[in-house]
Structures are given as C-alpha cells and as structure tokens.
Amino acid sequence: MISIEHIRAISPAAAARIAPHFELLRKATSFAFIGVINVAIDTGVFLLAYSYLNTGGSALRLLDALATWCGCARPETMVLVSANVTSWTVAVSCSYVMNSFITFAAESGRQLRWRRYLTFVTSGILGAIVSTTVLVLMARFVPVLAAKGCAILAAFGVNFSMSHFVVFRRRAPASQVGARK
C-alpha cells in the first residue's frame, strides 16, 4: 500500500496537497477496489436472475400477475427490478464483509456485527434506489448490460458517502462521550 511518506519522497508538493485528505482518499480507493469485486458479483447474480426470470417459468408468471394486479409496472420492468434487487442483496452482503475487514477495519475492529450490518444495508437502500432508478430509465435507451453499468456508477458515490459518514464513522471513545454530558 502507498503511504504518504512514499508520496512525500517522490513529490513533496503533491504530498503537502493530499496529506490532509490522504486517509479519505485511501478509503475511497479501497472502497472502489472492493466495489470492482462487487460489480462482478452484482452483475453475475443480476445476469443469472435476469436470465432465469425471462425463461417463462413460474417466476415470470408470478411477476406478470403481480404487474397486472398492481398496474404499477410492465412485466419487463418487474423482471428488471426483481433481478436488480436480488443481485443487490447478495452484493451488499459481500460488500459489508469486505469493507468491515479492509476499508473500515479501524472503525469496525474487523468484526462483523448484526447492528452495523443492518445499518449498512439500510444506508445502502438509498444506493439501491438510485441504482434501480437509473437501470430502469437507462434500459429504455441502451442495452440492459450498459444500463446496469450506469446504475452501478450512479450508486457508487451514494454508497461510499453513506458508508463513510454514517455506517463506519469514527465514534468518540466512551470516556469522551461521558465527558461531554
């Protein structure tokens, strides 16, 4: 891993500019690399679910009946949303584990906790809404795989911000929390 000292040895001027932001940049980079892995997971599960749901089996009939009953979407949209929610659920779980052990290891203590997982999933719902909205809108204009790529990119900023500022934010030690009261 690149350290600020390594950058300082190469370019003191660049190091001076990025030093105040180095930890955030390191985390964003780590989050992005884990995101690349999750893109593969998300896309793979999405394509499997999308293919399965489009085979015309009982799942497609169920989605078609649901779309007809609620009058809220076309069957094709229900397939896209169902495949995307399925792939998101798998990918968000993988993301939580990897980010707990790598990106936000200091904040999480490299421990998996149900409460933090649920907070991660809950905060990720905003990213899922962004992702699904972009997917459905873009699928009208470009091939589904390209629409999925746009959706993933749109959700990255939302997911990192929520992880950094909400889920894995540094918490004040208990001694400082008590001192503020």
Q: What is the pLDDT of residues 63-102, one digit of tens each?
A: 777 777 877 777 778 888 889 889 988 998 999 999 999 9
Top-ranked range on mean pLDDT: pick from 6-15, 42-51, 163-172 = 42-51
Beta strands in 50-144 (DSSP E): none
Question: Is the overall model pTM greater than 0.95, yes or no?
Answer: no
Spatial CA neighbour of 120 closest among 95, 141, 149, 150 = 95
Which amino acid type is present at position 174? A
CA-nearest of 125, 128, 180 to 154 is 128
pLDDT, tens digit (0-9, with 9 covering 90-100), for 116-150? 899 888 888 888 898 889 999 999 999 998 998 88
| pLDDT tens readout for residues 18-41 | 777 788 888 888 988 998 999 899
Q: What is the length of the chain?
A: 181
Amino acid making up residue 142? V
Query: Tokens 């990897």 label which residue?
Result: 98
Confirm if 131 and 153 have CB atoms less than 8 A apart: no
| One-letter amino acid of 48 | L
User: How many CB atoms neighbour CB 12 within 10 A?
Assistant: 10
The helices-and-strands tally (H runs, E runs) of the chain is 9, 0
Tell me which of 17-31, 143-157, 163-177 is least confident. Answer: 163-177
The pair of structure tokens assigned to 150 is: 């746009």
Structure tokens at 5: 């000292």
Which is nearest to 160 in space by CA: 15, 35, 6, 43?
Answer: 35
- The sign of the CA dihedral 96, 101, 107, 108 is positive
- CB count in 10 Å sphere of residue 168: 23
